[in-house]
């Protein structure tokens, strides 16, 4: 127990330091949020134009579609992170070496750092998404079904963890190649596509939807948003949680393997 408190304190100290660091960049953080609000608004405008007089696209009315976009972006604001490029930089610049000699694992350190780093951005994103939702208060569908909300909450937390692990894994690619920025941008697009961030996945063929239910990405946007709209039922939601847990375990296992192999290489090449 004392050990746990100890670890927690370690963790929180690092979180706090990087939270402060983020505060020194509050202006940048703010500007990014304005960009995000703009993106959401463009999506809503675009869909309004596409609907024209149409009542229903992919099983969603315009009102539902707008809610989908708003609530999905709200969840996504909580879930995402920017860990990959941080790790890539540590590896490329050889800063990783300075962690290897410290009595704390790089994984724990970098996770606490990232949580500290993004918590401000996350809070502001949540705030700005909320503002946009309030702006569309008449269009937005309000639904507070507690069981659904609990499942959604669990899903968002698991999605946060899965995304952290995934970003960590992607960041480790830097062990093998120098040029990662383009690669990360591409992977981010693919992730967003599979998460349903551009448009609801059920606009695509059914086989595609089934595949994406087996992947971790849909649980960061599409599934929780659909759950909120009650377009998928609770059992799908619960099954989703299980799939997420499996993914988290799998990712953790892959990370261990990739980390060890990467470290071997890092030591061999001696950056």
Partner 1 sequence: MTDIEVKNLSRTYEYYRKQQGLLGSFKSLFHREKLYAEAVKNISFSIESGELIGFLGPNGAGKTTTLKMLSGILHPTNGEVKVLGHIPSQREKIYQKQFALVMGQKNQLIQDLPAIETFVVNKEIYEIPDKEFQENLEELVNLFDIKNILDIQVRKLSLGQRMKCELVAALLHKPKVLFLDEPTIGLDVVAQKNIRDFIKKYNREKKTTIILTSHYMEDIKELCQRVIIINLGKIIYDGKLDDLIKKYAPHKLLKVVFNGNGVRREEVEKFGEIDEFNPYVCTFKTNRSEAKNTAVALLSSNLPVDDIIIDEVDIDDVVRKIFTSQS
The residues of the shown chain that bind ligand ADP, judged by CB under 6 A, are 269-271
Residue 94 Cβ vs ligand ADP, minimum distance, rounded to whole Å: 8
Gap between the Cα atoms of 146 and 165, Å rounded = 29
Gap between the Cα atoms of 168 and 95, Å rounded = 16
Q: 47 near 62, Cβ under 8 Å?
A: yes
Give how far Cα 44 sits from Cα of 37, 85, 213, 227, Å: 11, 30, 25, 20
55 near partner 1 (CB under 8 A): no
Q: 72 near 221, Cβ under 8 Å?
A: yes
For residue 57, which phi and psi values (nearest 5 degrees)? -125, 125
Which of 25, 107, 193, 198 forms a contact with partner 1 (CB under 8 A)?
25
Residue 25 Cβ vs partner 1, minimum distance, rounded to whole Å: 7
Query: Binding pattern to partner 1, positions 148-177, x when CB under 8 A?
Result: -----------------------------x
Stretch that binds partner 1, among 10-18, 31-39, 67-75, 184-192 (CB under 8 A): 10-18
Stretch that binds partner 1, among 39-47, 54-62, 90-98, 159-167 (CB under 8 A): 90-98
Residue 268 partner contact from ligand ADP, partner 1, none using kind-dependent CB cut-offs of 5 to 8 Å: partner 1
176-235: which residues touch partner 1 (CB under 8 A)? 177, 179
Which residues are within 8 A (CB) of 151 and not within 5 positions of it... i.e. 6 or more apart?
227, 234, 237, 238, 241
Residue 34 corresponds to which tokens in the numbers above?
């304005």
Residue 162 corresponds to which tokens in the numbers above?
């899965």
Dump the DSSP string for 171-186. Answer: HGGGGT-S--HHHHHH
Residue 271 Cβ vs ligand ADP, minimum distance, rounded to whole Å: 6
Residues of this chain that interact with partner 1 (CB under 8 A) are 6, 9-10, 13-14, 17-18, 20-21, 24-25, 93-95, 97-98, 100-104, 109, 177, 179, 267-270
């Amino acid at each position: 127990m004392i050990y746990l408190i100890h670890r927690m304190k370690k963790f929180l100290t690092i979180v706090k330091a990087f939270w402060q660091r983020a505060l020194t960049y509050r202006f940048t953080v703010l500007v990014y949020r304005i960009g995000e609000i703009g993106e959401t608004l463009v999506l809503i405008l675009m869909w309004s134009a596409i609907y024209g007089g149409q009542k229903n696209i992919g099983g969603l009315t315009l009102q539902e579609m707008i809610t989908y976009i708003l609530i999905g972006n709200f969840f996504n604001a909580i879930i995402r992170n920017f860990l990959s490029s941080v790790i890539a930089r540590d590896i490329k610049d050889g800063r990783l070496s300075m962690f290897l000699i410290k009595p704390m694992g790089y994984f724990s350190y970098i996770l606490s750092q990232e949580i500290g780093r993004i918590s401000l951005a996350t809070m502001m994103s949540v705030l700005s998404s909320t503002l946009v939702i309030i702006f569309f208060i008449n269009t937005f569908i309000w639904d507070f079904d507690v069981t659904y909300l609990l499942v959604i909450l669990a899903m968002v937390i698991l999605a946060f963890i899965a995304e952290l692990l995934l970003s960590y894994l992607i960041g480790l690619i830097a062990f093998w190649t120098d040029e990662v920025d383009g690669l990360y941008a591409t992977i981010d697009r693919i992730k967003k596509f599979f998460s349903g961030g551009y448009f609801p996945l059920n606009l695509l063929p059914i086989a595609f939807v089934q595949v994406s239910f087996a992947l971790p990405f849909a649980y960061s946007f599409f599934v929780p948003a659909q759950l909120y709209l009650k377009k998928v039922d609770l059992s799908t939601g619960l099954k989703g949680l299980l799939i997420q847990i499996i993914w988290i375990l799998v990712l953790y296992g892959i990370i261990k393997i990739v980390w060890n192999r990467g470290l071997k290489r890092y030591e061999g090449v001696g950056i």
